[in-house]
Amino acid sequence: MSGTDTAVTVTGDLPRRVLAGRRRRLWAVARVLAGAGILALLIWRLGTGPFVDGIRTIDAWSLGAAFVIGVLTTVCCAWRWHLVSRGLGVGVPLRAAVPAYYRSLFLNTTLPGGVLGDVHRAVRHGREAGDVGAGVRAVAWERSAGQVVQVALTVVVLLLLPSPVRGAMPLVALGVAAVAVLAILVSRTLPRSGPALWVRAMQTAGSDLRHGLLAQRAWPGIVLASALVVAGHAATFLIAARTVGLSASTVHLLPIALIVLMAMAIPLSIGGWGPREGVAAWVFAMAGLGAAQGVATAVVYGVLSLVATLPGAVVLAVSWRRRDAVTARPAAHA
């Protein structure tokens, strides 16, 4: 290829890169605005009382319980990441995975969007392992596996226990089953022709699924870890509900908790705030418990979740200090 052809190619790629960057920035802004809009709507309809009342009810017992549960769920998440990354050839030891996961959870909770911590964890581990692409895929598959198990458990619980959405659950269950069957069929009939980039992407995805998620030595641990994480988050939500004074039975509250937890997967939040409170207000009102109680419970859950991630702030501070020490050392020898 001549120098002119190279220049044309680079010039042609530049507008696409600029547009892609603009789209990413617009989407990031839209997510923050959506989360802020939900919170503003709730304040307009319900006032600030549910937010203030929820924070006032938090006590040392609830904070301590959330912290302990957070340790257990974070270790399970790190174990899941360890299993998936090992299958993809960029294994991270469990002793390193736990602090790294704490750091990513803290960043997810405190930064807009709710995923920046995962991005940081993926890129950093990929660089340390010498394969950024595999590092990013490992985190993406690990989080996706957790979401799949959460969806499955939520559907089962909502089918078995009374909830405001129980009437729609048979159709939802059929839809989830259809998507699962379709995914299995697609993974077993990977394309062998077509655009080279698409073929490579699908083949890589198939290889990742076989070796990272569905391998005999990986999938039982991934399912178990994900189930324990869901159970831990649901337990924290129940603690939040009890903290604000709800006396409804666990059988009544558990389906509501899982619905609200599913809402947290919606990428339209400010550090996790927004959709969680909106869905909590709706489902609590539908269950006859009051929208204000739903918001208060979601607010308490948000605070408890933040406290559970605080070890990540320590990990972040230590990593910054080490980086500064490494940077200052050459200057001292100069």
237-267 pLDDT per residue, tens: 999 999 999 999 999 999 999 999 998 887 7
pLDDT band at 273 (very low <50, low <70, confident <90, very high): confident
What lies within 8 Å, CB to CB, of 120 at 6+ separation is: 103, 104, 107
* Helix, strand or coil, per DSSP, at residue 192: coil
Q: Is residue 160 part of a domain?
A: yes
pTM of the model: 0.86
The confidence band for 274, taking pLDDT boundaries of 50, 70 and 90, is confident
* Residue 261 to residue 275: CA distance in whole angstroms: 10
User: For a pLDDT cut of 90, what percent of the chain falls above it?
Assistant: 57
Q: Which two tokens stand for residue 88?
A: 């993809």
pLDDT band at 56 (very low <50, low <70, confident <90, very high): very high
Q: Considering the domain boundaries, does residue 280 fall inside one?
A: yes
| Helix runs in 93-218, H state only | 94-110, 116-129, 132-160, 169-188, 196-208
Predicted confidence (pLDDT) at residue 82 exceeds the cutoff of 70: yes
**Taking Cα atoms as reference points, which of 116, 150, 111 lies closest to residue 306?**
111
313 is a domain residue:
yes
| Domain tally, the chain | 1
Mean pLDDT on 139-167: 93
Q: Is 252 a member of any domain? A: yes
Give CA angle at 185 (179, 190), nearest 5°: 125
User: Are residues 162 and 174 in contact, defined by beta-carbon separation less than 8 angstroms?
Assistant: no
d(CA 283, CA 299): 15
Range(s) of the domain holding residue 233: 24-78+146-319
Pseudo-torsion of CA 302, 303, 304, 305, nearest 10°? 50
47: left (phi over 0), alpha (psi -120 to 50) or beta: left
| DSSP assignment letter at 273 | B
Q: Which two tokens stand for residue 58?
A: 């938090």
Angle, helices 219-243/250-263, rounded to nearest 10 degrees: 110
Whole-angstrom CA distances from 90 to 25, 208, 252, 314 are 30, 12, 43, 25
Closest CA to 145 of 98, 100, 88, 84: 84
Helix, strand, coil percent values for the chain (each to nearest 5): 80, 0, 15
Q: Assess if residue 1 is contained within a domain.
A: no
Q: Sign of the CA dihedral 175, 251, 301, 41? A: positive
Question: Residue 314 has which token pair?
Answer: 């320590």
- Name the β-bridge partners of 273: 270
Residue 215 in domain: yes
- Give the ranges where 47-131 is alpha helix by DSSP (H): 49-57, 60-87, 94-110, 116-129
315: confidence class by pLDDT, cuts 50, 70, 90: very high
Average pLDDT of the chain?
A: 86
